Amino acid sequence: MRYWRKPLDFDQVTVPRGEVVIIADRCKGCAFCVEYCPKDVLVMSEDFNIKGYHPPEVVVEGECVNCNLCEMICPDFAIFCVPAGDAVAVEAVRSIAADEDAFAEEEALN
């Protein structure tokens, strides 16, 4: 974005960055997250999840501004946005997603 003049604190402003974590097997393919993402970081995947829906996937790594809009709008709590520098939060959400994926696969086999 180009300004016709610069704000006084322009050199102090940093753009927040986030990382999107998707629990694919929770998703029902509504695409709200894709439609409302202000930076167009997400698209609908060609792959199917365990329910038979197309979950979203991240196409532009590093462009997420951590606005949490996708997280707030998701009716299934299938998508999370965590700060990019917070390795503990990223690992916690990924471990929960991995546990849910393993549980879903186990349930599908039974």
Determine contact, residues 80/93, Cβ cutoff 8 Å.
yes
- Residue ranges and CATH numbers for the domains of the chain are 18-109 (3.30.70.20)
How many C-beta atoms lie closer than 10 Å to residue 89's C-beta? 17
Task: Tell me the per-residue pLDDT of 85-100, one tens digit each, with 9 for 90 and over.
Answer: 888 887 888 788 778 7
Alpha-carbon distance of 49 to 36, in angstroms, equals 21
Task: Tell me the per-residue pLDDT of 29-55, one tens digit each, with 9 for 90 and over.
Answer: 999 999 999 999 999 999 998 889 999
pTM summary value: 0.76
To the nearest whole number, what is the mean pLDDT of the chain? 87
29: left (phi over 0), alpha (psi -120 to 50) or beta: left
Determine contact, residues 59/43, Cβ cutoff 8 Å.
yes
Give the contacts of 40 (CB within 8 A, at least 6 positions apart).
60
